[in-house]
């Protein structure tokens, strides 16, 4: 189910022009067929804290090698670099909701936004370098 959802969201991002080469985003886009593929194991979901400077990937464990995730896409055109900080265990006061108000209590991989800020409570697609592969897709 997770891979299917990631593939669907990735397709939406690709269609919106987020990862397309500038040459394809112009009038020639209808003449070129898509030749890329999406690596579902190279992506997962995360959500943003109240400050906009931290994310928690609720579906990652330490054994998933979270350091390999270096980029985050939160909306079309809003791509940021991230850095893995630590794995956080679930707190006793967790309400089991993936929300900014519960981020310090939820279990998952903690990331810092390297440059800039994101919107509070925004859901994002965390990915590793070159998760979008193909002839007409720029590497993230």
- What's the predicted TM-score (pTM) here? 0.68
Count the helices and strands in the chain (H runs, E runs).
1, 8
pLDDT tens across 69-125, in order?
Answer: 999 999 888 889 999 999 999 999 999 888 999 999 999 999 999 999 999 999 999
Q: What is the pLDDT of residues 51-74, one digit of tens each?
A: 999 999 998 888 889 999 999 999
Q: What is the pLDDT of residue 106?
A: 94
- Compute the distance between CA of residue 96 and CA of residue 99 in angstroms, rounded to an integer: 9
Tokens of 39: 């690596």
Q: Give mean pLDDT, residues 133-140.
A: 50
Selection from 19, 30, 9 nearest residue 124 by Cα: 9
pLDDT at site 12: 56
């Amino acid at each position: 189910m997770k891979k299917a959802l990631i593939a669907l969201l990735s397709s939406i991002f690709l269609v919106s022009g987020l990862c397309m080469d500038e040459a394809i985003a112009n009038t020639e886009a209808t003449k070129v067929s898509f030749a890329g593929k999406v690596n579902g194991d190279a992506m997962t979901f995360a959500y943003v804290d109240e400050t906009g400077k931290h994310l928690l990937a609720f579906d990652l464990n330490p054994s998933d090698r979270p350091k390999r995730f270096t980029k985050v896409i939160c909306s079309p055109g809003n791509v940021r670099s991230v850095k893995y900080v630590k794995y956080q265990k679930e707190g006793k006061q967790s309400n089991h909701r993936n929300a900014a108000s519960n981020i310090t209590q939820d279990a998952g991989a903690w990331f810092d936004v390297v440059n800039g800020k994101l919107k509070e409570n925004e859901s994002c697609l965390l990915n590793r370098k070159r998760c979008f592969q193909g002839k007409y897709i720029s590497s993230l």
